[in-house]
Structure 1
Amino acid sequence: MEAMQSLVTNIQGLSSSGDISHLHVLLKQAQESLYAESTRLLPVLDQLDPATHSLGYLYILEACSSGLISKEQASTLVLPIARFINSCVAEQIRLQPDKFISVVTSPMTSFNAIAVEAYKKHILVSLIHNWNFCTSLPKYTSSVCQRNLKNYCQPYIELAHCYVSGKIVHLEAMVDRHKEKYENDNNLGLVKQVLSSQYKRNIQRLTQTYLTLSLQDIANSVQLNSAKEAEMHVLQMIEDGQIFATINQKDGMVRFLEDPEQYKTCHMIEHIDSSIQRIMALSRKLTAIDENISTDPLFLSKTGRERQRFDFDDYDGVPQKFNI
């Protein structure tokens, strides 16, 4: 557990210093070991604050619920999940929008508030981070969730539809209409980030059409108030690696560039290796789950009954009326 304690120390230190990008890299690298220690991670959550260490808390919480868990363990996880959903910080959790969907798609026999709140945050974080959102739920989502979830999240689903249209005026009107609801859900901060990301999404779409464009034209196209605001957004997007461009300060022209990545730097090799390791960990996890299911007595008895119902050895190969 020394490695785990070291990870906790990094989570605490990097979260406090605001170096979330570095922390995100470390957590992705540690994901396999987190899954391996999933049954012993619950006490680790007591060392973290879901408000201060949101990203690390999310990774460990997801690992805790990743394996086969008993009803008692599931009951124990309810409180940490509820604490996290109510306290997590938008600036950190926006880096991992897909983590919330695992809460929504987890097996459930009765509808619960945790799934509702997780889905709301999943919508908002997906819009901020991915600039898009698909309202259809995965097929393996429980039927009770499929039937009820969208009814409780309608203002958020409407926000997502409005966001995809790309019209900032309509999006602002939607936010004003449901502002009280978002505020009561403690999601107004995330909603404001959705508004900001709409400008970025619209700027990014301009790069698909134009090679050069003035800052004033960008401001007009994405409905910003001034060329200065457009410049601030473009600079931030360049810094975040969301677009590749240069700004000529003399004439206020922006030149959009191709991705300069040649995929041969040490950083990129580490990134690719990290992705491969995550895929391998997922493969091992799926294999383990498949082995557990294939040896489960209930599963075997059910498949045995199904096989008996459809055992083709019980039927003649040729219908009787065609016998010669």
Structure 2
Amino acid sequence: MDVNMDAIVAQTQGFSGNLSDLNHLQRILKQCEELFGAHTVSQLVSYLDQLDPCLHSLGYLYILKAILSAPVSKEEANGLLVTIARFINSCSVEQIRLAPEIFVFICRRFKDQVMSMEAPIRGVAPMLTAVCKLQVSSEKLTALHSDFLLLCVLAKCYKTGMPVLEDDISEVDQPRDFFLYCYYGGMICIGQKHFGKALELLHNVVTAPMSTLNAIAVEAYKKYVLVSLIHLGQFSTSFRKYTSSAAQRNLKNFAPPYLDLADCYGNGNISELETFVQANAEKFESDNNLGLVKQVVSSMYKRNIQRLTQTYLTLSLQDIANTVQLSNAKEAEMYVLQMIEDGEIYAAINQKDGMVRFLEDPEQYKTRGMIEHIDSSIKRIVVLSKKMTSMDELMSCDPMYLSKVGREKHRYDFDDFDGAPQRFNF
């Protein structure tokens, strides 16, 4: 095909008006990828300047790919960050979805660049926009979800990542994307102290189907143990029966100090727990989990205070400190105030005499807000139930699934059958 860059730019400008022309343009651009590689970065940038990222998104996409596939100097990289961010924000959804793999490539190079510059916060907003443009429905997990969440973790923009985690994901193309989405999502929820949601996401990683154990599941399991202790006050080493055999056989072997911590926590002795943490601090630090371990210790103090509410109506701050082994009344007051603010207990402190009066839960479950919350939850459960029924029907008719079940029938008791790396340190 005898064509030059000026002709490609002209064709991009002329064939970006409708879907039929765009399909023709894409065939041309695919045939010209070798030609793009014969030009320098500065030459390609000059051609890029002749295109509108909003109107000519498809051509812009291919030229950007060629630029990012070539060696780029530090000065050029800084300028390209601005160019890519502008493209992500203004590009046409219809056009970039014609070449989603190239859009993902560009966005990931953008993510890698802001990370190498140690400026992850510069990528958070553009990557959120990229996820929204690539996602065809709220149930679909894109290849960019985990990259966006990673930037949120590194930039400590936990609140920005939370809305993405509210979607009920049911469509996944690559298992690795799902593992990373749940793992980074769990870390974001930990950062926001939404331990219930964090536990759900980490549970998804630990129990997800896997033929061999992967590093993501190992790191998720360690945090799963710690978050279980913080949120539930206990941890069970038993796996759900739908957990893969690879995880059931091997996960515990990679987390002995965490399981020992859970045993120590279960004894209820705060001094013993603190001694254990100090003795194993180096191991927890090497996993970058020491901060979370310290929250486990703090949660035991809180849980012991909660137990007092079941026995006493009033208690002095000094008595609370003595009972739960805090240093003094002032420290006990700090814990009680924080627990009141977080809704973990209901109490009032009399500052004059240092007495704490424990109260009943004021929620009567009859306010308008609570009724709306319950109604919303019921509707969500109904939608999920219908989705699960539909997925079950599709699976029951899938020839590959039926063939696999037939081959492995002897492995299951059908009377009880319900249905069917790298280290990540922060």
TM-score by length of 2: 0.57
What secondary structure sits across from 1:255 in the alignment? strand
- After TM superposition, give the deviation of residue 296 of structure 1 in Å: 0.8
Q: Could you tell me which residue of structure 1 aligns to residue 140 of structure 2? A: 39
- The alpha carbon displacement at 1:111 in A equals 1.1
Given candidates 369, 380, 385, the residue that maps to 1:278 is: 380
For residues 111 and 183 of structure 1, the distance between their equivalents in structure 2, rounded to whole angstroms, comes to 23
Question: Which residue does 2:191 correspond to in 1?
Answer: 91
Q: Which residue of 2 aligns with 1:112?
A: 214
**Structure 1 residues 14-38: Cα deviation after superposition (integer angstroms, max 9, x where no partner):** xx9xxxxxxxxxxxxxxxxx99523
Cα displacement (A) at 1:76: 4.8
Tell me by how many angstroms 1:226 deviates: 0.5
Distance 2:314 2:187 in 1: 43
Matched to 1:116, the amino acid is: V
CA contact (8 A) 2:146 2:180 kept: no
Distance 1:306 1:181, change over 3 A: closer
Query: 1:280: Cα distance to partner?
Result: 2.2
- Choose which of 180, 195, 203 in structure 2 pairs with 1:101: 203
Given candidates 260, 264, 274, the residue that maps to 2:362 is 260
How far off is 1:53 after superposition? 3.7
Once the two structures are TM-superposed, the CA of residue 42 in structure 1 deviates from its matched residue by 3.5
Q: CA deviation at 1:144?
A: 1.3
Q: Distance in 1 between matches of 2:187 and 2:347?
A: 37
| Match in the other structure for 1:310 | none
User: 5 Å matches for 1:102-141?
Assistant: 102-141=204-243
The answer (yes or no) to whether the contact 1:94–1:128 under 8 Å persists in 2 is no
The DSSP-based 3-state class of the residue aligned with 2:192 is helix
1:247 Cα deviation after fit: 1.4
Please state how far the C-alpha of 1:163 moved relative to its aligned partner. Answer: 1.5
* Kept in 2: contact 1:247–1:255 (CA 8 A): yes
Answer whether contact 1:101 1:122 (CA < 8 A) is retained.
yes
Q: Is 1:67–2:170 an aligned residue pair?
A: yes
Query: Partners of 1:196 and 1:114 in 2: how far apart?
Result: 27
- Report deviation, 1:94: 4.2
Q: Does 1:220 align with 2:322?
A: yes
Report deviation, 1:300.
Answer: 3.4
What is the root-mean-square deviation in Å for CA atoms of aligned residues?
3.1
* Structure 1 residues 146 and 136: CA distance shift in structure 2, 3 A: same
Structure-2 separation of matches of 1:303 and 1:78: 25
- How do 1:48-63 and structure 2 match up within 5 A? 48=149, 49-51=151-153, 52-54=156-158, 57=161, 60=164
Judge conservation of contact 1:81–1:114 (CA < 8 Å) in 2. Answer: no
TM-aligned CA distance change 1:56 to 1:129, over 3 Å: farther
Higher relative contact order (CA 8 A, sep 6+): 1
Amino acid corresponding to residue 175 of structure 2 in structure 1: A
1:182 matched to which residue of 2?
284
Amino acid at match of 1:202: N
1:229-270 deviation digits (Å, cap 9, x = unpaired): 111111111111111111122221111111111112233223
State the 4+ residue runs in structure 1 displaced beyond 3 angstroms: 40-48, 53-64, 75-82, 85-90, 299-307
Q: Does 1:237 align with 2:339?
A: yes
Q: Is the 8 A contact 1:263 1:269 kept in 2?
A: yes
Q: Alpha-carbon deviation of 1:200? A: 0.4
Amino acid paired to 1:43? L
Structure 2 distance, partners of 1:44, 1:144, is 26
TM-score by length of 1: 0.74
SS in 2 for 1:107: coil
Identity rate, percent: 57
Aligned length: 272
Question: Residue deviations 1:24-58, cap 9 Å, x none?
Answer: xxxxxxxxxx9952336443555552313446647
Secondary structure of 2:334's partner?
A: helix
In structure 2, the CA distance between the partners of 1:81 and 1:255, relative to structure 1 (3 Å rule), is closer
Residues 79 and 260 of structure 1, relative CA distance in 2, 3 Å threshold: closer
CA deviation map 1:124-160 (0-9, x unaligned): 1222223332221111111111111111111111111
Residue matched to 1:287:
389
Query: Which has the higher Rg, Structure 1 or Structure 2?
Result: 2
Gaps of 5+ in 1: 6-15, 17-33, 308-324
Of 215-224 and 125-134, the range deviating more from structure 2: 125-134
